[in-house]
Structure 1
Amino acid sequence: MTKKIENLLLFMWTVAFTATLGSLYFSEIRQYEPCELCWYQRILMYPIVLIVGVAYVQKNVKIAVTSLVFSIIGGCISAYHYSIQKIDFMQESAPACGRVACTGEYVNYFGFITIPFLALIAFILIAITSVMILKSGKEDK
């Protein structure tokens, strides 16, 4: 495995780990109760930390397919969640999400950065890195 691929795996793990710590910070320290869509995003982000961490240690580039699938699904959920927070006509048709409304915004930095937006950025970075690993792996063959 090349140093480039090794660095990409480490970057992907760092992004997933930071996103996981961020979500735990908001829920456990700031006491923001996650809505249902937030839980789905967590279900897809948390395993990436373990999966990519093990792949990094094992030098397993094949994990890029798995991380790509997880990040695409998670990114779609994040994009939907962000859209029901920020787009008026989407808010009207938003599903009920249990005790906490999915349209609620615990944070709104600079008028557009919300928790689902942060998750979306993390999923996008992981997806791009996964594609880069897959392309680098093909070039090495």
Structure 2
Amino acid sequence: MSDVTREGSWPPLFAAFAIALAASLSVLFVGEVMGQVPCNLCWFQRAFMFPLAVVLGLAALRSETHIAVYGIALAVGGWLVAGFHTLLYAGIIPDRIQPCTATGPSCSSADMTILGMPLPALSLGAFSAIIILLLLSRRRSAP
């Protein structure tokens, strides 16, 4: 049975793509239009999210749910960085471990928010949603 004929596996895959695309376009808007310079950890999160949008977009276009394995790997990598960044922003990780304090923008400054929400937490939420949706897509496409 092909991936295209498996009912219920495409919508979660497409939703994961939509989240990855929205997150990618959002950070480009924040950086390029609003002029907010990303910190080091934000760059690492972008390094996971940008290819995720491309891979999931192609997978959704072709209804290839088996690609979810690669998407999960990228999303977990981004989730780990976003989780660390969220802990850093929340002040749970001590100041001496912060990777962004020497040069460039701070990883935990007050300007790391958009519409009152911390960017690291938004990123963590996006990666979490993508992982859940891709796991659902895999489960629904299992023979």
Please report the TM-score for the alignment, with normalisation by the length of structure 2: 0.87
Residue 24 (structure 2) pairs with residue 54 (structure 1): no
Choose from 86, 91, 101 the match for 2:90.
86
Q: Which structure would you say has the larger RCO, counting Cα contacts within 8 Å and 6 or more residues apart?
A: 2
Aligned to 2:133: 129
**1:97-135 Cα distance to aligned partner (Å, 9 max, x none):** 53111122321655xx21111111000000001111111
Choose from 98, 106, 109 the match for 1:104.
109
The runs of 5 or more residues in structure 2 that have no matched partner are none
Name the amino acid aligned to 2:53.
V
SS of residue in 2 equivalent to 1:62: helix
Change (3 A) 1:61 1:32: same
Aligned to 2:34: 30
Q: Are the equivalent residues in 1 in contact too, given 2:10–2:60 (CA < 8 A)?
A: yes
Matched residue count:
137
**1:23-57 Cα distance to aligned partner (Å, 9 max, x none):** 01110111000011000000100111111111112
Q: Are the equivalent residues in 1 in contact too, given 2:45–2:78 (CA < 8 A)?
A: yes
SS of residue in 1 equivalent to 2:8: helix
Change (3 A) 1:89 1:13: closer
Between stretches 91-100 and 36-45, larger displacement belongs to 91-100
Structure 1 CA distance for aligned equivalents of residues 57 and 119 of structure 2: 24
Q: What is the CA RMSD across the aligned residues, in angstroms?
A: 1.6
Q: Are the equivalent residues in 2 in contact too, given 1:27–1:34 (CA < 8 A)?
A: yes
TM superposition shift of 1:22: 1.1
Q: Are the equivalent residues in 2 in contact too, given 1:45–1:71 (CA < 8 A)?
A: yes
Structure 1 CA distance for aligned equivalents of residues 11 and 22 of structure 2: 16
Percent sequence identity is 23
The runs of 5 or more residues in structure 1 that have no matched partner are none
Structure 1 CA distance for aligned equivalents of residues 135 and 14 of structure 2: 14
